[in-house]
Every structure is written in structure tokens, then in C-alpha cells.
Structure 1
Amino acid sequence: MTKERITPLRQRMIEDMAIRHMASETQRNYIRAVKTLAGFLGRSPDTATAEDLRLFQLHLTETHVRPPTINTTVTALRFFFGVTLDRADATRHLTFVHEPRKLPVVLSPDEVARLLEAAPGVKYKAALGVAYGAGLRVSEVVSLKVSDIDSTRMLLRVERGKGGKDRHAMLSPRLLELLRDWWRIARPPVWLFPGQDPINPITTRQLDRACHAAAQTAEIAKRVTPHTLRHSFATHLLEQNIDIRVIQVLLGHAKLDTTALYTRVVANTIRDVMSPLDRLTPLRTRNTEPPA
């Protein structure tokens, strides 16, 4: 298999991203966006004009590319032209696309238990257990090292999470049991969840596939991804009346507004609110027959 040649232009962009300590996944997304632009242009992306970029975004819209992908592409191109090429003015026509925030898919505690039991092996059961038990993002789960487990303080160290920030996540006794079960079997030396080549951790795609397989085996009809477990973690904590600011810290959210989204899906909060209709004097109708 021939290794793809890295052009000087791409190398410079990689170096610019490395200087800013961008996450590996972010770097891959940015490179992919610039490659897509080059494919659209049919020539080197550094030759693009402001009008070319406007037409490129129009092309993305007309081919029904989803708003999150368009917004990632806009961010990537602003970085490429603004930082790597020092041509920030070229991106003046690029614009972010508003996307209505949808309610996250949330599993019930029973569905989570069935999903974990159906995981294809102890490694994936433990990894998905971390996603739910500590509320970690999939990129944070796969990046965990054995040394990140602090069983004395019952904490997980998350290095360079979203935004490149370190934080601590909770390590519950049950999650610690899952991780110890996995460690006794595999004795991973560095990465908590090593890939086929132990030098590297498992990929987010591998964990995503394992999650889909587990959901199918558990006969869960909802569309489930590892991030669904993070959503479920936050929602279930809210249903236990845990303060939303505590949940914000556990999730690593920069803004409380992001965490507040989960208040829209907390079922017991909705059920416990008394409707104003129920406070009225019992309504009586002239017709005592039940409606057809």
C-alpha cells in the first residue's frame, strides 16, 4: 500500500495545528475539509479566491451536506486561509449555518444495562461503561491511559478534552470493577483500551461499531452511539436531582447553556409537574357518556 505523500502546504497546516495543540480528531477534520475543497476546485486549495469559497459553500448546501459538517468545514477553511496562508480576507463569504438543537436520544437505565451486557467483549463493555459511568466523550474514552485511573481518589483524569482542557471525571465503584475486570484479562501497558496494534489506542470508529453491534444485540430500536451514553449519563443525573452546575463540571462543558439542554428531556421532572388543569375544581359535563 502506497503511503500518501504529504505536500509542503499540508505539512505547514499540520505544523500550524500542532503549534496550537489541536486534538488529533480536529486535525483530521480540518485536513479532510481542505481536501474536499481541493477536489471541488480541481486544483491546489491555496489558489482559491473568495468567490471560489462562496461557490464551494453553495455546493455543500445544494448537495445537502448537514449543517454540522458545513460549520466544521467553515471553521477549517478559516483556519487554513487565515493562519496557514495568511489570507483571512478570502473567507469573508463563508458563513456558519444555524442548526436547530434537537433533543438528544436518551436510553433508560434498563436499556443501558442491556447495552453493556450485549457489548462484544470485556474491553468494549468497559469502554462503553466509561462513556456512561463517567459521561466521557468517545474521543476521551479512547484516549484514556492506565495511569489516568486514580482509584485512591476515585477519579479519572481526562487529558486534553474538548478545547484542549484537562479535567477530572468521576470514577464510580461499579465502573472501577468493570475496569479492573478488563485490566486482569489484558494487562494493558499504556493505553487503557489498546487497538489491534497495542502502540495505539482503539479508534473512535471501532468503539462506535461496537456500540452499534451491542444495541442491535440488545434489540434497542433507538439510534445509539457512544455519545448517547454521555447524554444518558447527564439526563439520569438530573433525574436524581444532582445540581446542574455539578453536571456541567463532570461533562466538561464550558457553558451552562449546553448542559441545560438536558433539562428538556428529564422525564421525571415533566411527570412531577402538576398541570394547572388538575388544580381546577373537578369539571362536570352535562353529557355523562364517555366520548366516542
Structure 2
Amino acid sequence: MKNQHLIDEFKKYLQLAGMSPRTIRSYSKILKDYLNFVPDPYFATTQDLIDFALTKNSVSHRKQTQGVFKHFYRKIILKPKILTCLPKIKKQSKLPVILSEVEAHHVIAGLLNIKHRSILHLLYYGGMRISEVVNLKIFDINGKNNTVHIKNAKGAKDRVIPLPEETMDLLRAYYKKYKPKTYLFNSYIKNTKYSVKSIRKVVKKAVHLQGISKNITPHSLRHSRATHLLANGVDIKFIKQFLGHNSIKTTERYLHLTTTMLQDQITTADRFLKHKIETAA
């Protein structure tokens, strides 16, 4: 492929910069598409960069594309001036959809399959990302102190998080039944990990079984756990560490969710009080 040497150099730079394998794959794919989009990256203009970024449908993908441009033109092409007129993309501030504590409990408990229930336990009680769950290996679980070691997560970071006793008991029962060899959750193909697609289907099924109409994804369980911990008095700094966030600002969005929950409770209470007054009259 034309410009393959640039893609190879870019990958090596990202590896040296400590990027996670997942980030390297996604950034390299974006760069490959970009190099097919422009005749010559050395003679590209700022407008070429903007036109390519606009081929991405979501704000998050456009921001990711700008991240690729910054690394590529500063460190590989060595023409950073092309970036100076790029507009700053504002991130959409949509609050994530979450389950209530009761809904989360029923969604998880409603699954009879012990493997599927174990996965949901880690997504919710462990506050784990879906990629972290599929990449878990048997020896990442420490049964002596009830912790899980999450390795090479987002941002190429490791963290150790505690798990509830109930989750550990469930994982022990799952291990005895399924006897996984390498990955904690194997697929039907020997020695391969469970797929992200399969976990999404499990979550969708679990939510549907409870008659919940919210658009709940595996990441919604992580959001829900963080919100519930904050609402129950856990310090936001500990939640940041628990979730593996780089910045406290990322964690602070859960403050807005707890405020929304409070408003919902007050609104419900006010409606009940109004009905009570009207009935008494």
C-alpha cells in the first residue's frame, strides 16, 4: 500500500508513547483512511483535514480524528503549522442513561446463566469497561484479598479494584463449572476470549427480561455503579481511582446525575403530596 511506511512509523511512535494496543489499532485505522483520502499528506491543507474529519458522523470520532492529526503532523510529518487553524471540537455534554439501584439488582439477578451473571457482576460491581472484562485472565483475580487486577486498560494504565464477597463467590462457582484456561471468559472457540458483541447481547437480554425500556449498554452498568456509589456517600476521589479516570473532571459528571436523581425524587414526592392534599379536600 502507498504510504505504508508512514503507517508503520506512526505505529512505532504510538507504541513508544505508551499507547494501549486498542488505541494504536483505532488510530492506525483512521490514519490509513486519511492517507487514502488525500493525494499527498505532505502537501495537504487544513481544509483537507477538516473535510476528512467531517466524514466522521459522531463528535467523539471527530475528536479522535483530530488526535490522530496532532500526533501524525507533529511527530511523523513534522509540519505542525497545518494544525494551527483547526477548529476546537466541543464535546457534547449528554448525561449517560443509568439504572436505579433496584433495577440494576434485578437485571443482574434475573439471569440464570452463571457465566452471564458473572460478567454483569463485573460490569456493575466492578465498574469495569467491556474491553476490560473480555481481556481478563484467570490470574488477574485475587481470591485471597478479593481484588481484580485490570491490566493495560484505557490510557495504557493498570489498576487494582476491590470486588464484593458476593461477586467473588459467584466467580468461584463459575470457575468450578466452566474451568476456563486462559481468559476468564472464553468463547466457544478454544483459548479465545469472549466477544464484546456477545456481552452486548447478554446485557440487552437481561434488561429486556426485566421489562426496562431504557437504552442500556454494558457501559451503562459502569455509569450506574459510579452514580450509586456517589449517591451513597463514597468520596469522588475514590470513585475516580475505582473507574481509572485520568481526570477528576470526567468523574464529576456523576455529580450531575445524582442531582438529577434528587430532582426526580423531589418531583415524585411533590406529586404525591399534591394528590394527598387534593384527595383530602
Q: TM-score band, normalised by the shorter chain?
A: 0.7 to 0.9
Q: Which moved more, 1:147-156 or 1:158-167?
A: 158-167
Q: Which moved more, 1:144-153 or 1:91-100?
A: 91-100
Task: Give 1:128 shift.
Answer: 2.0
Q: Which residue of 2 aligns with 1:110?
A: 102
Give distance in 2, aligned partners of 1:155 and 1:79: 36
Task: Give 1:210 shift.
Answer: 2.8
1:143-162 maps to which residues of 2 (within 5 A)? 143-162=135-154
Give distance in 1, aligned partners of 2:238 and 2:97: 21
Give distance in 1, aligned partners of 2:117 and 2:88: 38
In structure 1, what residue type is equivalent to 2:44? T
1:1-292 maps to which residues of 2 (within 5 A)? 7-41=4-38, 43=39, 46-47=41-42, 49-51=44-46, 54-58=47-51, 60-61=53-54, 65-117=57-109, 121-266=113-258, 269-270=262-263
Contact map agreement 1:158 1:166 (CA 8 A) in 2:
yes
- Scaled by the length of structure 2, the TM-score of the pair is 0.82
**The residue matched to 1:81 in structure 2 has which SS?**
helix
**The residue matched to 2:155 in structure 1 has which SS?**
helix
In structure 1, what residue type is equivalent to 2:240? Q
What CA RMSD, in Å, does the superposition of the two structures yield over aligned residues?
3.0
Query: CA offsets per residue over residues 199-241 of structure 1, 9 Å max, x none?
Result: 4423433322332333234332111111101111111112221
Q: Which moved more, 1:157-166 or 1:110-119?
A: 110-119
- Scaled by the length of structure 1, the TM-score of the pair is 0.80
Q: Which moved more, 1:99-108 or 1:197-206?
A: 197-206
Contact map agreement 2:95 2:253 (CA 8 A) in 1:
yes
Equivalent pairs, count: 269
Runs of 4+ in 1 over 6 A off after TM superposition: 271-274
**The residue matched to 2:193 in structure 1 has which SS?**
coil
In structure 2, what residue type is equivalent to 1:40? F
Contact map agreement 1:30 1:77 (CA 8 A) in 2:
no
Task: Give 1:48 shift.
Answer: 5.1
In structure 2, what residue type is equivalent to 1:222? K
Give distance in 2, aligned partners of 1:206 and 1:115: 17
Unmatched runs of 5 consecutive residues or more in structure 2: 268-277
Give distance in 2, aligned partners of 1:6 and 1:176: 50
Quick one: structure 1 residues 237 and 37, their matched pair in 2 at CA, closer, same or farther if it must change by over 3 Å?
A: same
Quick one: structure 1 residues 101 and 198, their matched pair in 2 at CA, closer, same or farther if it must change by over 3 Å?
A: farther
Quick one: structure 1 residues 243 and 130, their matched pair in 2 at CA, closer, same or farther if it must change by over 3 Å?
A: same
In structure 1, what residue type is equivalent to 2:19? M
In structure 2, what residue type is equivalent to 1:25? R
Give distance in 2, aligned partners of 1:119 and 1:94: 49
Task: Give 1:154 shift.
Answer: 1.5
In structure 2, what residue type is equivalent to 1:142? V
Unmatched runs of 5 consecutive residues or more in structure 1: 275-288
Query: CA offsets per residue over residues 25-76 of structure 1, 9 Å max, x none?
Result: 21122022113323433x46x445133xx33424544x57221110001101
Contact map agreement 2:148 2:161 (CA 8 A) in 1:
yes
Q: Which residue of 2 aligns with 1:282?
A: none
**The residue matched to 1:168 in structure 2 has which SS?**
strand
Query: CA offsets per residue over residues 61-118 of structure 1, 9 Å max, x none?
Result: 4x57221110001101222232233333333333431123111111012322333245
In structure 1, what residue type is equivalent to 2:77? L
